[in-house]
Amino acid sequence: MHGLGDTGHGWSEMLGRVKLPDMKIICPNAPSQPVTLNGGVRMPSWFDLRQLDMSGTENEESLLAATRTIHDLVDNEIGKGISSTRIALGGFSQGGALALYAGLTYAKPLAGIIGLSTWLPVHQNFPDAKRNNATIPIFQGHGDIDPVVRYAYGQQTAKILESFMRHVTFNTYHGLMHSGSDEEMNDVKAFLQKCLR
């Protein structure tokens, strides 16, 4: 899932580099909606953002609506005969936050979750009852000079995830700002190869 203001098409070329044989990649588009963080301007956004600060309050209602959309997308793929354990969720920035939340709250186990340059939303009260998948492998990648979603937020997210998840990988990309890189995409591909074997 793409970040705030982007589209699925914006990531489709880069994700083509991680595609494995017999893998289907879906790059959905977020709806256009007002974003509080940006003065109420409408833009592609998975959920409303009030701020990019892990200590602040978040719009849980908006996050839950986005989560239902992703759960429905996964349900649709399962309805086509694909096992949930062959489905991975991933995203960048806001899309990564949604991938983490949706993946961790999905009712069935998934193959893996990928969060790039991201954070875990509503981490202060992440529902214990929703931690369905403690064994799902999680890959986090974050640039150490990210000026948008600070590197410290990525580190904090990894520590939170490690408190209730068994398989968390956090990779640091030196000199990387708020974007992806070839090195990171190679690591994502290796992660998917392990998850989907």
Domain CATH code at residue 114:
3.40.50.1820
Identify whether 119 is part of a domain: yes
Q: What are the residues facing 158 on neighbouring strands?
A: none
Q: Please give the residue range of the domain that contains residue 97.
A: 11-196
Tell me the two tokens of residue 193: 């190869």
Q: Look at residue 133 in the predicted model and tell me its pLDDT.
A: 75
| Per-residue pLDDT tens digits of the chain, which is 197 residues long | 999 999 999 888 888 889 898 899 999 999 999 999 999 999 999 999 998 877 777 888 999 999 999 999 999 999 999 999 999 999 999 999 999 999 999 999 999 999 999 999 987 766 554 556 789 999 999 999 999 999 999 999 999 999 889 999 999 999 999 999 999 999 999 999 999 98
Q: Look at residue 129 in the predicted model and tell me its pLDDT.
A: 44
Is 2 an annotated catalytic residue?
no
From 71, 178, 179, 181, active-site residue: 178
Find, among 165, 172, 162, the residue nearest to 140 by Cα.
172
Identify whether 2 is part of a domain: no
Identify whether 5 is part of a domain: no
Find how far residue 87's CA is from the centre of its chain: 13
Identify whether 160 is part of a domain: yes
Identify whether 1 is part of a domain: no
Q: Look at residue 52 in the predicted model and tell me its pLDDT.
A: 80
Identify whether 42 is part of a domain: yes
The pTM score is 0.95
* The total number of structural domains that make up the chain: 1
Identify whether 4 is part of a domain: no
Is 179 an annotated catalytic residue?
no
From 93, 123, 142, 187, active-site residue: 93
Q: Look at residue 51 in the predicted model and tell me its pLDDT.
A: 86
Identify whether 109 is part of a domain: yes
Alpha-carbon span 41 to 34, nearest angstrom: 5
Indicate the pairing of strand 32-35 with strand 41-44.
antiparallel
Is 178 an annotated catalytic residue?
yes
Q: Look at residue 12 in the predicted model and tell me its pLDDT.
A: 85
